[in-house]
């Protein structure tokens, strides 16, 4: 073991060096996570403040664990180069993150989610500092082949003991990998705010709780060490938080989840992640904005249909985010005539769609209505119908607007893949009744392109 590095007259504690390395590693990980989440926060300032707060918190927690030593020699105890407790640093770091969440006006749980992978990896690196310095964080004696002795450590022992810092390092690496992947999922689609930090508290607390069974720390409560009690509290707190945030998330409508995700991330172009189907075995070749808006290639197809078929009146059911509405309107603008009448039942969703439409510069070509598709009234003939509301309503929508459809117009129904069976079955049923003729486009989520049977004569 090597507690200190001797460079001439300079003596550098190896634990401090690894602590610095841990903070640097955490900084780069956190900076990258902030970037991929598109969070406008300064990682340099945040990490600098959190480092100082963490060191002070870790030191205070350690000295308060041994009040007798603190009272007998307060100056020496407070300013010694060894003795730092992870949980003290964690609490101080959390307090600093609360401050920065208010400062940058970002959701606290989202900022904590972003910091969690960095904290896990930083903790893992810091534990190697404990191993190299031999600061007494090792375990009880063992006969296992990987047992180690620390004769030259800060807290020496010649017995072969459990190298618990290595155990915690490996656990920290695994927790980091898992949390990093969870964070990536949050950038792709809606996820509960706070689920990453909840899992961090749960997993890191459980890891510490388990390793303390073979650590040499003194037992203070129900046969548990101070660190073990805090590890258990962290795991329980993380579990409770995870249940709460997931329950809140599940209570939200799917549309509202995507609205929250959009508010944080904006439009994010990404590979389609819907499952493969016999008609579309490679969905990843398509692109998407979210799980409810039509695929980007389908949006391009819709715009092309508008410029090709030259409709005067388009009816769109299910405005949602207004993305498909704008693509249809772009086709009308290129034509120089026409109107898309789009309806959205959910008031909260409609407000967001209206904001997007008004900011687009395409309002001349769009009539947006906050009403149910089954109550929407359209005067005259409809040249194109894009049915994209709730799947169970699609058949009713087509039946409702079919009498007004131009015999040579187009009827489009999204979400008609062989996996999403409701819309597909409805279209085929209408065809069997002799009302429409159907072509099933082999896209990831499926698209029906149909026409009134009358137009085939």
Residue 215 has a pLDDT of 86
Is the separation of the CB atoms in 380 and 339 below 8 Å? no
Gap between the Cα atoms of 142 and 166, Å rounded: 15
Residue 77 has a pLDDT of 47
Residue 217 has a pLDDT of 78
Determine the 3-state secondary structure of 366 from DSSP: strand
Nearest to 46 by CA among 110, 115, 106: 115
Residue 246 has a pLDDT of 94
Residue 345 has a pLDDT of 94
CB 158: neighbour CB atoms within 10 A? Answer: 8
Residue 269 has a pLDDT of 81
Residue 366 has a pLDDT of 97
- pTM for this model (two decimals): 0.76
Residues of the chain with CATH 3.40.50.150: 287-456
Question: If you write DSSP's letter for every residue of 39-87 in order, what string do you get?
Answer: ----HHHHHHHHHHHHHHHHHHHHHHH-HHHHHHSHHHHHH-S----HH
Residue 299, CA atoms < 13 Å, CB-side half-sphere = 19
Residue 457 has a pLDDT of 67
Local confidence pLDDT in tens for the 457 residues of the chain: 676 777 777 777 787 788 889 889 999 999 999 999 888 898 888 988 888 887 777 767 666 655 555 455 555 444 455 555 666 777 888 888 999 999 999 999 999 999 999 999 999 998 898 888 877 788 898 999 998 888 887 788 888 999 999 999 999 999 999 999 999 988 888 889 999 999 999 999 999 999 989 988 777 778 888 788 889 999 999 999 999 999 999 888 888 888 877 777 777 788 898 899 999 999 999 999 887 889 999 999 999 999 999 999 999 999 999 999 999 999 999 999 999 999 999 999 999 999 999 999 999 999 999 999 999 999 999 999 999 999 999 999 999 999 999 999 999 999 999 998 999 999 999 999 999 999 999 999 999 999 998 867 6
CB 143: neighbour CB atoms within 10 A? Answer: 6
The top-level CATH class assigned to 287-456 is alpha beta
Structure token digits, residue 236: 């329980």
Is the separation of the CB atoms in 407 and 437 below 8 Å? no
Gap between the Cα atoms of 33 and 176, Å rounded: 12
Tell me the Ramachandran region of residue 266: left when phi exceeds 0, alpha when psi lies from -120 to 50, beta otherwise.
left
């Amino acid at each position: 073991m090597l507690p200190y590095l001797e460079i001439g007259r300079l003596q550098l504690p190896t634990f401090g060096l690894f602590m610095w390395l841990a903070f640097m590693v955490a900084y780069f990980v956190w900076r990258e996570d902030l970037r991929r989440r598109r969070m406008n926060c300064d990682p340099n300032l945040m990490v600098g403040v959190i480092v100082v707060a963490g060191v002070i918190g870790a030191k205070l927690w350690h000295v308060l664990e041994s009040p007798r030593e603190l009272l007998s020699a307060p100056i020496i105890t407070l300013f010694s180069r060894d003795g730092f407790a992870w949980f003290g640093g964690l609490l101080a770091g959390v307090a600093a993150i609360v401050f920065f969440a208010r400062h940058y006006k970002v959701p606290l749980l989202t900022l904590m989610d972003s910091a969690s992978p960095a904290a896990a990896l930083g903790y893992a690196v810091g534990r190697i500092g404990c191993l190299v310095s031999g600061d007494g964080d090792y375990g009880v004696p063992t006969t296992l082949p990987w047992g180690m002795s620390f004769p030259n450590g800060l807290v020496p022992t010649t017995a072969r003991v459990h190298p618990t810092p290595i155990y915690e390092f490996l656990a920290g690496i695994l927790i980091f990998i898992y949390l990093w992947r969870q964070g990536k999922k949050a950038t792709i689609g809606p996820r509960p705010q706070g689920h990453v930090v909840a899992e961090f508290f749960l997993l890191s607390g459980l890891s510490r709780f388990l390793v303390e069974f073979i650590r040499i720390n003194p037992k203070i409560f129900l046969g548990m060490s101070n660190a073990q009690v805090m590890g258990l509290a962290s795991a329980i707190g993380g579990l409770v938080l995870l249940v709460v945030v997931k329950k809140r998330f599940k209570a939200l409508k799917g549309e509202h989840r995507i609205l929250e995700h959009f508010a944080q991330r904006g439009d994010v172009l990404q590979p389609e992640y819907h499952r493969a189907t016999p008609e579309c075995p490679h969905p990843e070749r398509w692109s998407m904005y979210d799980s409810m808006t039509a695929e980007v290639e389908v949006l391009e197809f819709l715009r092309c249909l508008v410029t090709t078929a030259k409709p005067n009146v388009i009816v769109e059911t299910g405005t949602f985010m207004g993305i498909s509405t704008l693509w249809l309107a772009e086709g009308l603008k290129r034509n120089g005539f026409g109107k898309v009448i789009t309806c959205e039942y959910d008031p909260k969703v409609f407000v967001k769609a209206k904001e997007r439409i008004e900011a687009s510069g395409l309002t001349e070509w769009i009539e947006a209505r906050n009403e149910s598709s089954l109550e929407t009234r359209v005067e005259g003939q409809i040249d194109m119908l894009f049915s994209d509301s709730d799947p169970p309503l699609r058949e009713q929508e087509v039946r409702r607007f079919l009498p007004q459809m131009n015999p040579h117009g187009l009827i489009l129904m999204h979400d008609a893949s062989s996996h999403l069976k409701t819309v597909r079955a409805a279209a085929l049923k209408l065809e069997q009744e002799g009302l429409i003729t159907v072509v099933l486009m082999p896209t990831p989520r499926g698209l029906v392109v149909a026409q009134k049977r009358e137009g085939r004569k």
